[in-house]
Amino acid sequence: MHIILVSDKLATARTLVITGRHVLLSVLALSLLVFSLSSLISYLAVQHAADVRLPVLNSVLRAIQAEETERRDTLVRENLNVMAIKLGQMQAQLSRLDSLSDRLTQSVGLKAQDIKQVADGRGGPLVREQVLTTPELEQLVDALSERVEERGDAMALIEAQVLESRIRHAMLPTSLPINSAWNASTYGWRIDPFTGHRAMHEGVDFPAQTGTPIYAAAAGIVSNVEQHPQYGNMIEIDHGNDITTRYAHTSQIFVQPGALVKRGQKIAAVGTTGRSTGPHLHFEVRVGGVAQNPNRFLQEAARYASR
């Protein structure tokens, strides 16, 4: 494109040549200028709307702020409601935990003061819930956390007591070693069937047919298996705390020394080996090597068997 400039002040006419590059640069410069001016005007209008006092712009800003505030308040209320529901569920779970703790406490023979727990009665008229504030909800959560921690400690103590009781019960010979009565020859002084003289009987006898199963009266470790001249085929089980049991006159033995046996596990069969007048099980309980009256241990097993 050629542009010819003619003027009275010019001695000769001038010619300007405009190319496509010049046109493109001019358009880009004009666009950049328009964009910069519009951005500046928009920024100044928003930042200084209160000073400029443009009613339309102020109304738009207030509407935007009100919408943001409402959305934020709605989100807070929803979160508080969810937390309040969770808090109610935790309180219900805590109540059930209290009831369970009471039952366990009674079952193991603990007293309430032993676990610092006092049952709290609840009741009263129904009052509809109100929306809790954040500080009120935080206080309730903190108080509930303390109660849950206390109940957790109480349950841990009860669990330890129950575990200890189970272990102690499992290690005591309070289970019948055979499904038979033991009144034929009880513990204590008696007339010896071989000599006819008064002699000490350090166990109890269970008359039964040969081959009748014999079971461990408690959990323990087999400490001795031997053929004794008087006890015959004998098994001795160590239950810890210096407590041992003996099973004599057996016809068969199914365990080896060092074996770990469970309460009620089959360990032998009834026989008449050793110093015996007929098939039966001679059962002894010893503490520190001294014979004890097995009836004191077996009476509990008899009570359970009669139920």
Helix (H) or strand (E) holding 146: helix 134-171
- 195 & 291 share domain: yes
Beta bridge partners of 142: none
Do 76 and 142 fall into the same domain? Answer: yes
Q: Minimal CA–CA distance to 265: which of 299, 301, 222?
A: 222
Do 298 and 238 share a domain, yes or no?
yes
- Condensed to tens digits (0 to 9), the pLDDT of residues 168-196 reads 666 788 888 998 766 656 888 888 888 88
- The 10 Å Cβ neighbour count of residue 282 is 24
- Residue 124 domain-assigned? no
Q: Are residues 203 and 264 in the same domain?
A: yes
Residue 178 belongs to some domain of the structure: no
Beta bridge partners of 280: 207, 271
Residue 234: which domain range?
188-305
218 and 158 in one domain? no
pLDDT at 204: 92
Using the Cα atoms of residue 277, residue 281, residue 287 and residue 293 in order, give the sign of their dihedral. Answer: negative
Residues 163 and 68 reside in one and the same domain? yes
Domains identified in the chain, total number: 3
- How far apart are the C-alpha atoms of 271 and 285, rounded to whole Å? 19
Domain shared by 167 and 75, yes or no: yes
- The pLDDT tens digits of the residues spanning 243-298 come to 999 999 999 999 999 999 999 999 999 999 999 999 999 999 999 999 999 888 88
Q: Please check whether residues 201 and 148 belong to one and the same domain.
A: no
Report if residue 206 sits inside a domain. Answer: yes
In this structure, are residues 244 and 237 in contact, taking their beta carbons and an 8 Å threshold?
yes
Contact 300, 174 (CB under 8 A): yes
Per the domain annotation, does 106 fall within a domain?
yes
Residue 236 lies in a domain: yes
* pLDDT tens figures, 112-151: 555 554 445 555 555 555 666 667 777 777 777 777 777 7
